[in-house]
Amino acid sequence: MTADIFIQVLVSGLLIGLIYALVAVGLTLIFGVMDIVNFAHGEFLMLGMYASFWAFALFAIDPIVALPLTALLLFAVGVIVYQTVIRRILKAPMLSQIFATFGLMILLRGLAQFFWKPDHRLIPHSLVSGNIALGPVQFGLPQFVAALGAVGVTGALWMFLHRTRLGTALEATAIDREAATLMGIDGQKMFALAWGIGAACAGLAGGLIATFFPIFPEVGSNFILIAFVVVVLGGFGSVTGAFLAGIIVGLIEVLGGFLIGPEYKTAIVLSLLLVVLLVRPRGLLGKA
Amino acid sequence: MRFAAAITEPTRTPTANAPTRRQTIKRMLAAAALLTTTALTGIGFGASPAHAEDEIRIGVIYPLTGAAASTGVELKAAAELAAAIVNKEIPAPPGLVAGIGLPHLNGAKIKLIFGDHQGNPQVGATEAERLITSEKVVALTGAYFSNVTATASQVAERYGVPFLNGESSSASLTQRKFKWFFRTTPHDDLFVGNFFTFLGDMEKKTGDKLRSVALFNENTLWGNETTKLQVKLAEEQKFTIAEKILYPAKTTQMTSEVQRIKAAAPAVIMQSSYLGDAILSMKTYKELGFSPKMLLANDAGFNDSEFLKTMGKDGEFVISREVWALDQAERNPLIKQVNDLMHQRTGVNFNGNSARAFTGIAVLADALDRAGSTKPDAIREALQKTDIPASGLIMPWKGVKFDANGQNELGQGIIVQVQGGQYVTVWPFDVATKPVVYPMPAWDGR
């Protein structure tokens, strides 16, 4: 194997890893704040992709231009899901919570299939298309822009959580719900906010990959398994952890797939999950 | 507040739901009754006891309801067109097999009795039994789904009634050593084998070496079976496998796969993918700037009607296997004439499935006429002696002639290439309508 190929594989791994990170960040945020695992997270990604698709198909708005719109829309979806479904199961046994979000996943998939047909769709002429060649290393502009967007969104989220009053309140709720409530923070509002932001992150990820990934009702299932691995590796609830873990998983998947064999790439990623659970169950940056 | 809601809700729910539930049950019962009556009348009509002497009953089993109903309806229309031609209700294009009707049976008419298997092998077997025992059909045909053909033909075998299958491609169907089973369509193994013959032909034509092949198949049953067969054929025909990848279906990225194939630098990629993966792999080839001399796709995702719609220009030059292509009508006037008849009647063109269903009935009618009798043994014997030339068919085959297992040994698949947004036939060369674009142009040279 030459150095060129090695660098190329690393770059490809990094690019897809950043996307994984963005998907996982929303998932981990929701879990961190309220200890609920959102199985419908992949469907938020799917909705984000369809939002971009319809913006393009109906109003000829490019997915990249439509990103703020997609984020806003998915924020609303997240809040609505919280208000209608999640709020009612906050104190329910964990199994009920799992089934609720699992049911939501099936519902959203079914609705997408019903309204938008099970067809695969693609956005044909995005603003970002074509390839970039840096010496021997080649990568697609859409993938590069998506990765860049993922870094930007995750960075913005980090700033929000650590540098703004509202973000700090959200963090406080995540650390100790009771104490935060005693300090005058409205827990319900914070939960709704977490769902809104979590869904918006997934939606943004969907909007970013819509420029190169086929769009279909079940697309969430392709990503959700990896997103869970990323969340576990990064540490449940840690945004920074999820970001780092996303990159690591992307690199390991692409590099491992290349070196050992693509047929094992999913196995490699899931073995990583097992190792993390055995050796360091709280993940890279998780709360002990 | 929450507490209050918890109390009111359960009391409200049953009272609010009860009438609707009762209504639903009523509606369901009404629907069921309606269904039963229609089904019964259907059977009643079919079983009308007045079997005219000059009416030959053929059982046709297709998925007329259920997930594949749209295909089943197409198949039914094609079978009915074939029957109408045999019965001289519409004039037959000259040269078409079975176009002369049934002179040896005193110009008798054939009557198709349809059975609906709903995509279910058990239902298929029951329908076969019904058609044989209560409808007294002299032969059966169908059933499109390989697994239903398997069970339905078992019933026919037990009763000693000829079963002619026109459109199921699982190779195992003609490996069962059945006495009463015949199949006109080529099977899956043959389609995969065609690729290697095609590569040999391309080597002769271009003078290039195309011996190094990358196998790139998805990892479900289909991809695994295909890989096994390809490895075997490659060894037999002295091809080297530069890379063999069974990738996890429905993946999020294919860069490791494509990178590996790129590093192995094969002349040809043979790929089996369903739609989503087919699209993603094409995107990844483009992203990594990789174009082999040829990309040979194993049908499925690459031939899905959505593939070209979504890929647009990036789908150009992909080569895939097919059983039939509409551009064959340009080459063969017979295909055009029969397709026009189909279009007049149903408003749609033939496709690979309906063309094969049509051919199935035509071949069966040809055997019936030569048998000159409706006795099962006579029909079976006539089927065994079938020898129809390519000129009598609307298929790109060399003809119809059954081997000892009942498999048509003159059937062949075709290879199509996407050119100008259409699938055009490029191989076998004698039925091709356009030359192969070779090698596949590099991405930046398009």
CA pseudo-torsion sign B340, B342, B343, B344: positive
Cα gap B172→A81, rounded to integer Å? 50
Answer yes or no: is B119 within a domain.
Answer: yes
pLDDT class of B25 with cuts at 50, 70, 90: low
Cα gap B385→B229, rounded to integer Å? 31
Q: Is there a contact between B129 and B135 (Cβ–Cβ < 8 Å)?
A: no
- pLDDT over threshold 80, residue B48: no
Give the mean model confidence (pLDDT) for residues A258-270: 90
Q: Find the CB nearest B280 among A214, A223, A263.
A: A214
**Pair of tokens at residue B16:** 């609010």
Do B143 and B195 have their domain in common?
no
Question: Residue B24's pLDDT is what?
Answer: 52
Q: Find the CB nearest A263 among B246, B275, B443.
A: B246
- pLDDT over threshold 80, residue A272: yes
Give the mean model confidence (pLDDT) for residues B56-79: 90
Question: Residue A65's pLDDT is what?
Answer: 94
Residues of A in contact with B259 (CB under 8 A): 5, 8-9, 12, 254, 258
Classify burial at B347, counting beta carbons within 10 Å of its beta carbon; exposed 0-12, middle 13-18, buried 19 or more.
Answer: exposed
Answer yes or no: is B390 within a domain.
Answer: yes
Do B128 and B195 have their domain in common?
no
Cα gap A204→A209, rounded to integer Å? 9
Do B423 and B394 have their domain in common?
no
- pLDDT over threshold 50, residue B45: no
Give the mean model confidence (pLDDT) for residues B40-45: 41
Classify burial at B4, counting beta carbons within 10 Å of its beta carbon; exposed 0-12, middle 13-18, buried 19 or more.
Answer: exposed
Do B291 and B435 have their domain in common?
yes
Q: Express each pLDDT in B224-240 by its tens digit.
A: 888 999 999 999 999 99
Question: Residue B41's pLDDT is what?
Answer: 41
CA pseudo-torsion sign B172, B176, B179, B180: negative
Do B224 and B263 have their domain in common?
yes
Give the mean model confidence (pLDDT) for residues B268-279: 91
Q: Express each pLDDT in B317-362 by its tens digit.
A: 999 999 998 898 888 899 999 999 999 999 988 988 899 999 999 9
Answer yes or no: is B273 within a domain.
Answer: yes
Question: Residue B414's pLDDT is what?
Answer: 92
Answer yes or no: is B418 within a domain.
Answer: yes
pLDDT class of B31 with cuts at 50, 70, 90: low
Give the mean model confidence (pLDDT) for residues A36-46: 95
ipTM higher than threshold 0.90: no
pLDDT class of B30 with cuts at 50, 70, 90: low
Task: Assess B11–A contact: CB distance below 8 Å, yes or no.
Answer: no
CB contacts under 8 A, B 304-363 vs A, are 306, 310-312
Interfacial residues of A (vs B; Cβ cutoff 8 Å)? 1, 5, 8-9, 12-13, 16, 20, 119-122, 124, 131, 133, 138-140, 143, 212-214, 216, 218-219, 221-223, 226, 253-258, 261-263, 265-266
Answer yes or no: is B408 within a domain.
Answer: no
Do B78 and B179 have their domain in common?
yes
Q: Express each pLDDT in B135-151 by its tens digit.
A: 999 999 999 988 899 99
3 state SS of A283: coil
Q: Express each pLDDT in B160-206 by its tens digit.
A: 999 999 999 888 899 999 999 999 999 988 888 999 999 999 999 99
Do B68 and B132 have their domain in common?
yes
Question: Residue A201's pLDDT is what?
Answer: 96
Cα gap B185→B83, rounded to integer Å? 19
Q: Express each pLDDT in A135-146 by its tens digit.
A: 888 888 999 999
**Pair of tokens at residue A80:** 């609505």
Higher pLDDT, B377 or B20: B377
Give the closest-approach CA distance of B247 to chain A in angstroms: 5
- pLDDT over threshold 80, residue B29: no
Q: Express each pLDDT in A179-225 by its tens digit.
A: 988 888 998 999 999 999 999 999 999 999 999 899 999 999 889 99
User: Closest by alpha carbon to A46, among A114, A101, A105?
Assistant: A105
Averaged confidence pLDDT in chain B: 86
Answer yes or no: is B14 within a domain.
Answer: no
Q: What is the CATH number of the domain that holds B428?
A: 3.40.50.2300
Q: Which domain holds residue B174?
A: 55-186+331-400
Distant-in-sequence, close-in-space partners of B363: CB < 8 Å, separation ≥ 6? B97, B98, B164, B166, B184, B386, B388, B400
Do B113 and B145 have their domain in common?
yes
Answer yes or no: is B202 within a domain.
Answer: yes
Task: Assess B286–A contact: CB distance below 8 Å, yes or no.
Answer: yes
Judged by CB atoms closer than 8 Å, whether chains meet at B263 and A1 is answered as: yes
The amino acid at residue B403 is D
Give the mean model confidence (pLDDT) for residues B387-395: 94
- pLDDT over threshold 70, residue B55: yes
Interchain CB contacts (distance < 8 Å): A and B: 99
Residues of B in contact with A122 (CB under 8 A): 279, 310-311
Averaged confidence pLDDT in chain A: 91
Cα gap B416→B437, rounded to integer Å? 11
The β-bridge relationship of strands B388-389 and B399-400 is: antiparallel
Buried b (16+ CB within 10 A) or exposed e, B387-416: ebebebbbbbbbbbbbeeebbbebbbbbbb
pLDDT class of A3 with cuts at 50, 70, 90: confident
3 state SS of A137: strand
User: Closest by alpha carbon to B293, among B270, B321, B324, B259?
Assistant: B270
Residues of B in contact with A133 (CB under 8 A): 289
- pLDDT over threshold 90, residue A106: yes
**Pair of tokens at residue A54:** 């319809």
Do B350 and B419 have their domain in common?
no
Q: Express each pLDDT in B299-316 by its tens digit.
A: 888 988 778 888 888 999
pLDDT over 90 for what percent of chain B? 63
Do B175 and B296 have their domain in common?
no
Residues of B in contact with A254 (CB under 8 A): 253, 255-256, 259
Calculate ∠ Cα B192-B195-B196, nearest 5°: 105
pLDDT over 70 for what percent of chain B? 88
Task: Assess B260–A contact: CB distance below 8 Å, yes or no.
Answer: yes
Distant-in-sequence, close-in-space partners of B149: CB < 8 Å, separation ≥ 6? B124, B142, B143, B165, B168, B170, B173
Number of domains in chain B: 2
Question: Residue B114's pLDDT is what?
Answer: 97
Judged by CB atoms closer than 8 Å, whether chains meet at B306 and A223 is answered as: no
CA pseudo-torsion sign A253, A257, A262, A268: negative
Select from B3, B246, B253, B258 the residue whose CB has the most chain A CBs within 10 Å, as the one to mutate to test that interface: B253
Answer yes or no: is B100 within a domain.
Answer: yes
Question: How far from the centroid of its chain's Cα atoms is residue B39's Cα?
Answer: 28
Do B64 and B152 have their domain in common?
yes
Do B261 and B374 have their domain in common?
no
